[in-house]
Amino acid sequence: MYVSDCIDINSQGHLTIGGCDTTHIAKEFGTPVYVMDEDEIRKNCRKFVESINEYYGGNGMALYASKAFCCKEICRIMAQEGMGLDVVSGGELFTATSVGFPAERIYFHGNNKTSAELKQAIDYGVGKIIVDNILELETLNELASAAGKKEKIIMRIKPGIDAHTHEFIKTGQIDSKFGFALETGEAMEGVLKAVSMPNIELVGLHCHIGSQIFDLDPFELAARVMLDFMAEIKQATGLELSELNLGGGFGIKYKKTDRPRPFKDYMKKVSEVINEYSKKLKLKTPSILVEPGRAIVGAAGLTLYTVGSVKSIPDVRTYISVDGGMGDNPRYILYQSNYEIICANRAAEKRSATVTVAGKFCESGDIIQEWTHVQPVKTGDILAVLSTGAYNYSMASHYNRIGRPPVVMVKGGEPRIIIRGDSYEDIIMNDI
């Protein structure tokens, strides 16, 4: 019935997350507030870890794409669950290292890493650096040489697959800023260069074909394209790569009508392709990595707001304004993301009103959702926007000098703060 297993309605008709009454959370911590369910997050991790055990005999690893939601506590949880970590910046790496996340389980991504970031990664001894382009390859070889190390790398490849998701979040095609293109020969050129470098050890390939993907076919196709390229590399250089990283992009439920495939189905089908196809190409089955981001945290989180002004414009629409908006959730203004919205204090009532939920930021486009169904809400009601665990806090800004909301984690029905909200002092902290 709901977009996530951790959401329910209690006997008072209030929305709950992880068994915790959301109206109590709103009262205790104020609004806006992000709320996440720890048990749901851990459950999602286990689905990935267990299916790697089941379908690849444990020969692989699930890396949490920390850009979806990065903070110290989530890094601790990922470390405990046996997950690896995909980081894309010095800041994400710093967050992971600040809680002692095991270095060998960190993979460093990014299409334009700075020399300082590469050096930071070498110094911490991250497991693998995912190299995006020739310039980075050269810089990394120099930095590794200066540090007296041989860096293990994976090359990011554009397999040229259109995964039928929203235009803005497609990254597997040739027109993408990420990775080496296969068709143009750029990828093979990169491989030959990497193989010739004294301080680089090429161990694998990576691709990421998009986000919020529901189909299995594009993942299967990507696996084949990548194995074909592995076979080509073996033929050209004699080198047999040991790791194949198939990226993330596993779809989740934002709307009730969304039908993501269970991750197990993905793993089963793709593992069959990989096991059979690598045999056919006379390759050893590589170790398989996947990089779920939103599939781990997205549906495990929601955001609570308080309703302020309600403006009914006759024959136009009704605007419900809340005490947050694009500063804490820029996804609608960025790419018209879908969300389910529920009135937390009257969750059992019928969602009979059609409204536009707007924020309080000074932009007409500051909208959370348009023409959405909610209970007939009044000023002072609490609105819950569901499935905001991924790409909300991590994309939040200080626009209008409005502080980012706190993040509350619920475990066993008990809430605790894991990230404090910004105070006014925090906002002027770096001003001279």
Ligand X SMILES: *Cc1c(COP(=O)(O)O)cnc(C)c1O
Q: Which residues are catalytic?
A: 362
Report the largest interatomic distance among the alpha carbons of the chain, rounded to a whole angstrom.
72
Taking the C-alpha atoms of residue 200 and residue 137, their distance in angstroms, rounded to an integer, is 8
CB of 394 to ligand X, least distance (A): 10
Stretch that binds ligand X, among 21-29, 244-252, 256-264, 327-335 (CB under 6 A): 244-252
Q: What is the 3-state secondary structure (H, E, C) of 129-194?
A: EEECCHHHHHHHHHHHHHCCCCEEEEEEEECCCCCCCCHHHCCCCCCCCCCEECCCCHHHHHHHHH
The residue assigned the tokens 């027109």 is: 175
- Of 6, 26, 52, 68, which one interacts with ligand X (CB under 6 A)? 68
- Of 21, 37, 38, 86, which one interacts with ligand X (CB under 6 A)? 86
CB of 1 to ligand X, least distance (A): 24
Stretch that binds ligand X, among 62-70, 308-316, 343-351, 361-369 (CB under 6 A): 62-70
Calculate the dihedral angle through the C-alpha atoms of 173, 230, 103, 418, rounding to the nearest 10 degrees.
30
Q: Is 324 in contact with 303 (CB distance < 8 Å)?
A: yes
Site for ligand X in 142-201 (CB under 6 A): none
The residue assigned the tokens 């749901």 is: 40
60 binds ligand X (CB under 6 A): no
Cα–Cα distances in angstroms (integers) from residue 337 to residues 83, 112, 212, in the given order: 28, 27, 11
Site for ligand X in 248-267 (CB under 6 A): 248-250
In DSSP terms, 311 is beta-bridged to 319
- Of 109, 158, 331, 346, which one interacts with ligand X (CB under 6 A)? 109
- Residues ≥6 apart with Cβ < 8 Å to 1: 256
Please tell me the count of residues contacting ligand X according to CB under 6 A: 17
Provide the mask over 275-304, with x wherever binding to ligand X is found by CB under 6 A and - wherever it is not.
----------------xxxxx---------
69 binds ligand X (CB under 6 A): no
- Of 190, 218, 247, 327, which one interacts with ligand X (CB under 6 A)? 247
CB of 67 to ligand X, least distance (A): 6
Residues forming contacts to ligand X in the complex (CB under 6 A) are: 65, 67-68, 86, 109, 208, 211, 247-250, 291-295, 390
